[in-house]
Structures are given as structure tokens and as C-alpha cells.
Amino acid sequence: MLWGIRPVQQQAAYGLAVEVLRKQILLGLLLAGEKMPAERKLSEGMNVSRVTLREALRVLQTEGYISIRRGAHGGAFVADEDSLLRIALARAARDPGMVMRAIEFREANEKVAARYAAGRRTPANLKLMKNALRAIHIADSPGKLRQAENSFHLAVAEASQNYFLARALEDALAAVFLPPPVGSLEAWCKSSERLRQDLLTAIEQRDEPEAEAALEAILDADRARLRSLPKVA
């Protein structure tokens, strides 16, 4: 058998749609409790039929990521924060190694992306990072903070000007789906903002070594969160 040749795994179209929508929820790009776009808009945006989309939504509802409401004000809604917290704890408890491997992947690749971002960033890239940092500052829920943090990291990955790094890091960020750390949301926001401000400053100043160091500090904070989870430490 030739090296690297593996059996092709068949996957239904709805399974691919499930992966896309689940990732949006895990990254916080679809917020807890938020009503999802209408079926027509979602199906057109994802280039799938409405039948395929409905099957994907049914799977996500079974997994607990969304709920389907009927009636004039119905539709698909992302699960509330408490439900997403239970999912995060269950994922980390079921396979803590997977989360840690995702953090290891980020260490190996996101630090490189941060270094490239410091050397290649554009004014548009910096604007996206600053917008995300402002969103961290005013976040009033764990979901909004998760959204802002991941938006910041996706902006850094995009600033690397490396398509392959950006795509891979999107998957890794979704895999590191952790519940909020113990303590007040305000304290968490301040710590998150400080860590990412250090990274933004290094990227603005084109200081590649300092950008790597700032990214490592962020990863250290994620490791500490993972170790603090019940049944995971």
C-alpha cells in the first residue's frame, strides 16, 4: 500500500453542514440563546438544500447545541449558556487529552502565526484585532467574551497571510471549547484583555519574538483553565 493512501470516508452532505454550524457555536460566532439565520439564508450561504439543512439542525438539536421552536416567533436557537457549559464540561471530561492536544497544536502553529502576523499585518488586520479587543472589554456574558476572544485569534491568524495556518487554527480554536474559569466575569475580561493587548502591541510594533511570548502567555492561561476543570485535572 502506498504511503498516505487511506480509505475514503463517505460523509453525507448534512454531516458537513453539522460540522460548519457546530464550529460556529463552539467559536462563539453564533451566541448562546441567539436566533440563527432563517433556513433559506443558511441553506443559500452554505450551498446546501433546505432538506439537508433541516437534517443538520436535527442532529445539532439532538446533541444539545440548538433548540427548535415552533410558531410565529419560532426557528432555530443556539442553546443557552448553561446548556453550553454542560456541553463544554462533558467534552473536556470525556476526552481531556483531545483538548490538550488542541492546545499543543496551537502552541506549535499559532505562535508561528503570531510571528508572521507581526511581520505581515496590514492596517485592516490591526483594525480587526482592535475591534475584537474592544469587544472583550465590554463583554457582559461568557458567550460574548468567547466570541470576542476567538474573533481576536482569528484576526491574528488572518494577519499571518497564510491560508493554511488560518484554516487549521480555526479548527483548533473550536476544539478548545472550555467553560469560563472560576471567578467574576469582570476579572476574567480584564485578564483576557491584558493578555491580548500584549499580543496586539507586539504585532503593532512588528516585534516577532515578543508576539510569540505573548501568545505563549495566552496558552498558559488556557492550560490553567483546563487543569482547573472538575474531573479533568
Q: What domains appear along the chain, each with residue ranges and CATH number?
A: 13-79 (1.10.10.10), 95-228 (1.20.120.530)
Mind listing the pLDDT tens digit for each residue in 107-116? 999 999 999 9
Instruction: Give the torsion sign (CA, 48, 51, 53, 56).
Output: negative
pLDDT band at 233 (very low <50, low <70, confident <90, very high): very low
Cα 70-73-77 angle, rounded to 5 deg: 70
Q: What is the mean pLDDT of residues 64-79?
A: 90
pLDDT-above-70 percentage for the chain: 94
Answer yes or no: are the C-beta atoms of 180 and 196 closer than 8 Å.
no
pLDDT of residue 1: 47
Mind listing the pLDDT tens digit for each residue in 143-160? 999 999 999 999 999 999
pLDDT of residue 212: 97
What contacts 70, CB < 8 A, 6 or more positions away?
Answer: none
State how far the Cα of 44 lies from the Cα of 213, in Å rounded to an integer: 42
Mind listing the pLDDT tens digit for each residue in 218-228? 999 998 888 87
Is residue 66 pLDDT above 70, yes or no? yes
Query: Of 7-11, 42-46, 192-196, 201-205, which range is least confident?
Result: 7-11
Pick the more confident residue, 211 or 98.
Answer: 211
pLDDT band at 7 (very low <50, low <70, confident <90, very high): low
Mind listing the pLDDT tens digit for each residue in 163-194? 999 999 999 999 888 877 777 889 999 999 99
Is residue 55 pLDDT above 60, yes or no? yes
The beta-strand segments (E) located in the chain are 66-69, 75-78
Query: Of 35-39, 71-75, 130-134, which range is least confident?
Result: 71-75
Q: What are 71's three cell numbers?
A: 410558531
Answer yes or no: are the C-beta atoms of 48 and 13 closer than 8 Å.
yes
State how far the Cα of 215 lies from the Cα of 108, in Å rounded to an integer: 11
pLDDT of residue 161: 97
pLDDT band at 210 (very low <50, low <70, confident <90, very high): very high
